[in-house]
Amino acid sequence: MAPITSSPSPHSPPPPTTPPTSPASPAISASPASGAHPHIVDQADAASTVTLRGATLATLSGRLIAAYALRETSAVATITARETSTPSISTGAWAEPQPFEPASQYGPAYATSPTYPSTLYAVTASGVWAATIPDTLTLTTRLLSARLRQTPTTLTATLTMDDADGGFAALGLAPGWTVTLTPGYASGAAGAQEAGIAFTLTIEAIAHTHAEGRRIVTLTCTGPLEQLARWRPASAYQSAAGALTRFQLLLRAAQRAAIPVASGADPDDPSPDFTAYSPSLAWAPGESGRTILDRILAPLNDGLRTETGALTVVNRTSRLFADVARRLAPILWWRFTTYDATVVQDHSATGAYAGAFITPPYTIATGPLAGGQPSTALTFPATPGLFVSTSPTLAPSLTHFTLLALVRNPAAGANRTILASDNSAGTYWHMGTNNGVLNFGNSADGWTDTRGADLRNGNWHLVAVTRQANTTVTWYVDGVPVGTRASASAAAIATATPITVGIRPATAGSFFIGATVAEAMVFDKLLIARDIADLWRAISPALYTFGGPTGHPIEALEAIDQPPPANWIRLQGSARQAEAFAPESLAAHGPRLAQYRTLDATTDTRATSYAANRLRHDTAEEPAARLTAPWATGPQLFDHIAVTHPALSQASRLYRVNAIALDFARGPAGHRYRATYDLVAP
């Protein structure tokens, strides 16, 4: 089993304890950091008849402790000491100020002694209080069993400790201490521990038990969401629309409960609606911090990871290629998933781009999309031959656009046109590969140029060109920008003839020869680098594999087919309403309507987006499978995994992790070290 360590609570001076004489590894712990940020912890105005006085600060094991006196002269005159602290100096997440027993007109003063740095003193005119600052404790050798469960809404654990020597009480653990559980394996050099995800929780309760001649201690632990649910603001607060972003609002609430807030790293960073949009929000005295959190996140598809002890906000949008593409809304999209003329999918607002499909010799090939995603492609003849997949002329003419496709080129060959258009006057544009290098040309700009490495290596590549009129053309290969060039004119790419895939008509040699193309798209807007990178990652999104000859072992797999909580969303906003629905679920399970109301839906676009978010959120809660396996150190909440299980006719099927359960036990009857994952659609 991995390290288990425990540290004192950061919210108040800890009780005295005796550190162990020989801590074992692995460990239960939390480490303070350094650096400070100013943060308002309390304030009052003249009309309140409240004055704050006698503030004092102390540095304690990497934390800041603040104390002051609050004097009330109206109604019942009182003087109350207040105390607040940070979990660590670096976070600046000051806890909600709370009453502190030693009271005087100017509050208590804190001090530590250079001679006794492990002791904290609190001093008032009437007395001196002292508490020993304990060290981090290592408890791994005492751990008998651990049961932990993490979901998008909870993190809890029950840890059972051996107390055969009767020495556990002398360690001084108390509710409020921090516990870090790090499951792993002794798989490193010389048996060194290797681990992935670690869980940080707070001790909620400690139970000492003696039964059947055995002494044990049980620690009941909870995560930051449970801690936030226990917090209640002491005063009302209101933020007007446009003042603070959702991130800042969550930060303001969570910091009052001394809980850090973080943003997930790319590609799991939060949605722009969370980081950039500023809605109105108000909370009332005594309202649960959890309900405040729910109101902040309700219209969004963002979720929370909590294993670090912080609220880490991540984006839970689908990573499947088709889902990402639909979100980006191409106006033309050749999927090549059928043998007939239905390969062009029109996503334009006008519905004007239903295409024709001409089929001289070609070959249907397996496409590049992994994990059971529908994936076919067209392979062109190895010798020159006519092939045209065509759509109507773009109208109105485009000055800002994106061209994109998946291509696989053989080791030899020259021109490989992917998308093109030509008119009788000779005005043209095309995107393809020229001598294996990504190529884009626009005769109105008077140039043709190439960017990127030679792609004639037999591998699949995502190639894209974005053009912003009068400014910049940018080339992308495999989701990464590979060069730019100034755009010389505002001329459009659209001409009098249709857009074609595979050949630029009436131009000799401008066709695919022995190459393969899939998922060709045209957008009437500029995709940003993140959009193109998302599409590249979606080609093979699984991060971890279970089952099969190379995947992590599987003990049991339960495939589940059941309806989601809702498959039809009606969202009411400010004088507007929008709907979203899942047609497959409606047909299979019947209508399951859920209604939501949010005043943040102030525009039609926002209302439509929020309805889609709620639908994605509700359908993402529908269990699709439950996987039991030996503990795997990699997967964490919301990660993608691929599961292969021939007995259930599954080959690299993609799922997303929606809950993690750890079941560890050791003893004379044997050992157990198991993970159970609740899986949902990716």
The CATH number that applies at residue 501 is 2.60.120.200
Q: b/e map of 370-390 (b: 16 or more CB within 10 Å)? A: bbebebbbbbbbeeeeebbbb
Give the SS3 label for residue 184: strand
Same domain? For 328 and 342 the reply is yes
The predicted model gives 95-100 an average pLDDT of 84
397 versus 219: the higher-pLDDT residue is 219
The predicted model gives 488-497 an average pLDDT of 61
Same domain? For 377 and 389 the reply is yes
CATH number for the domain including 151? 2.40.10
| DSSP string of 99-163, one letter each residue | EESS--TT--EEEE-SSSTTEEEEEETTEEEEEE-PPPEE-GGGEEEEEEEEETTEEEEEEEEE-
pLDDT confidence of residue 411? 72
641 part of a folded domain: yes
119 part of a folded domain: yes
pLDDT confidence of residue 546? 96
The predicted model gives 145-150 an average pLDDT of 96
Longest dimension (CA), the chain: 98
390 versus 24: the higher-pLDDT residue is 390
pLDDT confidence of residue 9? 55
The predicted model gives 180-185 an average pLDDT of 92
| Strand-strand pairing, 261-263 and 311-315 | parallel
423 part of a folded domain: yes
Same domain? For 489 and 617 the reply is no
pLDDT confidence of residue 477? 95
Give the count of beta carbons closer than 10 Å to the beta carbon of residue 126.
Answer: 8
Tokens 């009857």 sit at which residue?
669
What are the structure tokens assigned to 533, written together? 């990178």
Residue 286: which residues within 8 A CB-CB, separation 6 or more?
232, 233
Q: Minimal CA–CA distance to 323: which of 371, 274, 266, 272?
A: 371
24 versus 287: the higher-pLDDT residue is 287
pLDDT confidence of residue 387? 52
Among 315, 344, 373, the domain-final residue is: 315
Same domain? For 627 and 658 the reply is yes
pLDDT confidence of residue 201? 95
Same domain? For 352 and 455 the reply is yes
∠ CA 261-267-269, rounded to 5°? 25
How confident is the model over 565-620, as pLDDT tens digits? 899 999 998 888 999 888 878 888 899 999 988 888 888 888 988 998 888 888 87
CATH number for the domain including 584? 3.30.1920
pLDDT confidence of residue 413? 62
Local structure of residue 322 (DSSP, 8 states)? H
- The runs of H, that is alpha helices, within 367-525 are none
Please give the residue range of the domain that contains residue 182. Answer: 4-30+136-222
Distance CA 318, CA 316 (A): 6
Same domain? For 669 and 609 the reply is no
Same domain? For 598 and 551 the reply is no
Q: Residue 674 pLDDT > 90, yes or no?
A: yes
Q: Residue 216 pLDDT > 90, yes or no?
A: yes
Chain centre distance of CA 370: 21
Give yes or no for a contact between 120 and 13, defined as CB atoms under 8 angstroms apart.
yes
Same domain? For 609 and 630 the reply is no
49-58, 93-102, 626-635: range with lowest mean pLDDT: 93-102
In which band, very low, low, confident or very high, does the pLDDT at 350 lie, cut at 50, 70 and 90?
very low
Q: Residue 678 pLDDT > 90, yes or no?
A: yes
Distance CA 146, CA 194 (A): 18
How confident is the model over 352-366, as pLDDT tens digits? 444 444 445 567 778
Residue 141: which residues within 8 A CB-CB, separation 6 or more?
24, 162
99-113, 244-258, 474-488, 550-564: range with lowest mean pLDDT: 99-113
| DSSP string of 569-607, one letter each residue | EEEE-SS-EEEEE-HHHHHHH---EEEEE-TT--SHHHH
In which band, very low, low, confident or very high, does the pLDDT at 313 lie, cut at 50, 70 and 90?
very high
Q: Minimal CA–CA distance to 102: which of 87, 72, 130, 80?
A: 80
609 part of a folded domain: yes
Same domain? For 230 and 151 the reply is no
Taking each helix axis from N to C end, the angle separating 289-297 and 246-256, rounded to the nearest 10 degrees, works out to: 170
pLDDT confidence of residue 340? 35
Among 315, 341, 358, the domain-final residue is: 315
Share of the chain above pLDDT 70, in %: 81
Give the count of beta carbons closer than 10 Å to the beta carbon of residue 204.
Answer: 18
Residue 168: which residues within 8 A CB-CB, separation 6 or more?
142, 161, 208, 217
Amino acid code (one letter) for 515: A
Cα–Cα distances (Å) from 419 to 10, 228, 363, 384, 524, in that order, read: 61, 53, 18, 17, 14
pLDDT confidence of residue 471? 83
The predicted model gives 549-558 an average pLDDT of 95
304-308, 452-456, 469-473, 492-496: range with lowest mean pLDDT: 492-496
Backbone angle region of 566, left / alpha / beta, with phi > 0 → left and psi within -120 to 50 → alpha = beta
Same domain? For 368 and 479 the reply is yes
CATH number for the domain including 276? 3.55.50
554 part of a folded domain: yes
281 part of a folded domain: yes
Among 132, 167, 184, the domain-final residue is: 132
397 versus 201: the higher-pLDDT residue is 201
Q: Residue 389 pLDDT > 70, yes or no?
A: no
Give yes or no for a contact between 546 and 554, defined as CB atoms under 8 angstroms apart.
yes
267: preceding bond cis by omega (within 30 degrees): yes
108 part of a folded domain: yes
pLDDT confidence of residue 588? 87
Same domain? For 145 and 115 the reply is no
Q: Minimal CA–CA distance to 556: which of 567, 546, 566?
A: 546
Give me the number of domains the chain comprises.
6
**What mean pLDDT is reported for the chain?**
81
Find the radius of gyration of the CA atoms of the chain. 31
Taking each helix axis from N to C end, the angle separating 529-538 and 321-328, rounded to the nearest 10 degrees, works out to: 160
41 part of a folded domain: no
CATH number for the domain including 668? 2.40.30
635: preceding bond cis by omega (within 30 degrees): no
In which band, very low, low, confident or very high, does the pLDDT at 15 lie, cut at 50, 70 and 90?
very low
Same domain? For 666 and 652 the reply is yes
pLDDT confidence of residue 24? 25
